[in-house]
Structure 1
């Protein structure tokens, strides 16, 4: 099934159009652009993304991405959102070819009943929790993103963790 996904960067220009739209959005809000650049640098510093060549690979998926800015947020002011439902030249998305498992999460009502029976409750917001899960290197081409460097040239990155 993975072989059927094709190439999203060179098969169509959706990833490039998305990047251009994002840059237009940033031109109207310099703070948003600055924070997004800082976040991309953080991803790179933490090895959550690595630069890769712009060469054409037979199987390559560039999920569209954008960022949401919430200036009033206490914890995380900027979040990057990846669109796994964007289709490749084959008409398939990464969501279409992923193996899905049954939902193992308990029902919210069960959680609320369990909480009420406890004497103490600890809660936390685990920052970057999912980005701690590494993706096998063989699958990195299925998680590429297009961005710009300091000279405004297009750069391709592999996402190396779960997003």
Structure 2
């Protein structure tokens, strides 16, 4: 590992906690002071106004987008920021929708653009550590799988949003949102590991690996640590049971 990857791993070990129900609470690994971030409101405003113009042209896209955001709020993945003046430092992320026609569940996913630069020329992603790769590479998993008669596949549902972010850092991942242009724009804090942030893949896969490390069953531990590629599981056995 590089020094930054080692620092990232150390940050995870020292700063990750678990709630009473076992849910992980992680700290976004930062390599620079977040005070280096500049203003982010104007760009986020421009992007959401552009998004609303697309909503007018494409009602189905709007419906899917609003459903996604409504679920995000209902599940507690984001909540309204009722005291934005008290957040220093902070960052407001633009967002856009990605359509996935082949998806069996969510046809549209909202991606939060943490690479959007602030007025200082620095983005939220610029100050994050990316972290090391902690899972086996896909080719190795597939080659191992093809040696067995019985295989099984699965995926970890809502992997990123199953992991909470340290409450003190939620002001660094805020968004503007409203359901209707006639409503007032509101600020929301994203409270979980977020698609589009540089450290999200590491944090999510590292939490999964931690479950494997703590698992009492050696067989299950090996499956968790070596048969997952991001949130997709490809595993096998010598018998169907």
**Structure 2 length-normalised TM:** 0.61
Residues 6-155 of structure 1 mapped to structure 2, 5 A cutoff: 6-9=38-41, 13-53=42-82, 55-56=84-85, 57-71=87-101, 73-150=103-180, 151-155=182-186
Runs (5+) with no aligned partner, structure 1: none
State how far apart, in whole Å, the 2-side matches of 1:33 and 1:71 are: 16
Q: 1:6 to 1:54 in 2, by over 3 A?
A: farther
User: Residue 123 of structure 1: SS of its match in structure 2?
Assistant: strand
| Partner deviation per Cα, 1:5-43 (whole Å, 9 max, x = no partner) | 13311xxx1000000111011111111111211111111
Runs (5+) with no aligned partner, structure 2: 1-32, 195-241
8 Å CA contact 1:64, 1:83 repeated in 2: yes
Aligned-CA RMSD value: 1.8
Structure number with higher relative contact order (C-alpha < 8 Å, ≥ 6 residues apart): 1
Moved over 4 A (4+): none
Moved more, 95-104 or 145-154: 145-154
